[in-house]
Amino acid sequence: MTGNYSEELGAVKTDLQTLRDDLATLTKSVKADAKANASELRANAKTKFEAARTNAVEAGTKGRQKAHTTFKENPIVSIAATAGIGLLVGALMSRR
């Protein structure tokens, strides 16, 4: 009877050691995968940021050129619009 318990205890100990080894291997694998995914996500984010920055710079340049052209073609209307905006901002600020 004690022989069976000793054998079963030995088998359980062996199984536990195997489980520990498997968990260690799995942990290392998950860690490596996480690092790879983090690197990939970082690269994708950097690419998207660069594209967004480029688009913003292009949009700003186009807007500035269009405003310059509009001011040059219609100086009186541009001055009137600027004065109107200034009056509006002044009126809003004086109410506070």
Q: Which pLDDT score is estimated for 2?
A: 61
**Span 19-38, mean pLDDT?**
90
pLDDT tens-digit map of 48-76: 999 999 999 999 999 999 988 988 888 89
Per-residue 3-state assignment (H helix, E strand, C coil) for the chain: CHHHHHHHHHHHHHHHHHHHHHHHHHHHHHHHHHHHHHHHHHHHHHHHHHHHHHHHHHHHHHHHHHHHHHHHHCHHHHHHHHHHHHHHHHHHHHCC
| Domain limits, the chain | 2-94
pLDDT tens-digit map of 70-85: 888 888 988 898 899 9
Full-model pTM: 0.49
